[in-house]
Amino acid sequence: MDKKKLVFEDLGKKEYEKTWNYQKKLFNNMIKRKHYSSKEVGYILFVEHHHHVYTIGKNGNKKTNLLVSSDFLKKKQVSFYHIDRGGDITYHGPGQLIVYPILDLEYFFKDIHKYLRFLEEVIIHFLWSNYKIHGIREKGKTGVWLNNQKKICAMGIRISRWITMHGFALNVNTNLNYFNYIIPCGIQNRKVTSLKEFFKKKVSFHEVKYQIKKSFEKIFNVDMI
């Protein structure tokens, strides 16, 4: 049987708002196509946001989990967006790989929790197959941690009519100082990490993108075109 196919786009470095609008365009197109029994199973976007951004999900608590003022954000040139995904507050910026799958889950499985576990498995597979690093899950939480209890990958999604958008953010060479101004994902007293911090040196961003792509294809049993 032929593997399902996803349209792959590497957007390179792109502003958050422009990428969000592009996601919504693809997402809405996918929903419209369902009326015509389209066989396209979706898109997958890779991007690095080259400006500093905080985003918070629709049920996030800005008052509690954003630790600085609006004036401080302006001084630091950090943008803030209240967006239409689940989850709480997180940071996006240079050195971080963002992956936005826009999938029709009717071609995979109609199970939101299973979808999140598959996204986590992509990161777990990537970490182990390339670096022999154990990525772990934490009960009752979404994302991937290392065994030092620091989070390396955050996730937040939206699903409507079984079409997905948003996705996950993997800290590669990320400036982790920006996480000090928030309570990441609303989880108290927990730190974040990156591949750069783990290895004490910068990691090839190009190689990470290539290997994440391979891990996604394996876990979801798809080909990217």
Asked about 153 being catalytic, the answer comes back as no
Question: Per the residue annotation, which of 185, 208, 219, 222 is the catalytic one?
Answer: 185
Contacts of residue 220, Cβ cutoff 8 Å, sequence gap at least 6:
4, 108, 118, 122
Report DSSP state, residue 185.
G
Q: What is the DSSP letter of 3?
A: P
Walk across the sheet containing 78-82 and list its strands: 78-82, 52-56, 89-92
- DSSP track, 123-169: HHHHHHHHH---EE--TT--SEEETTS-EEEEEEEEEETTEEEEEEE
* Residues with Cβ within 8 Å of residue 13, at least 6 apart in sequence: 47, 48, 49, 50, 94
Active site residues: 185
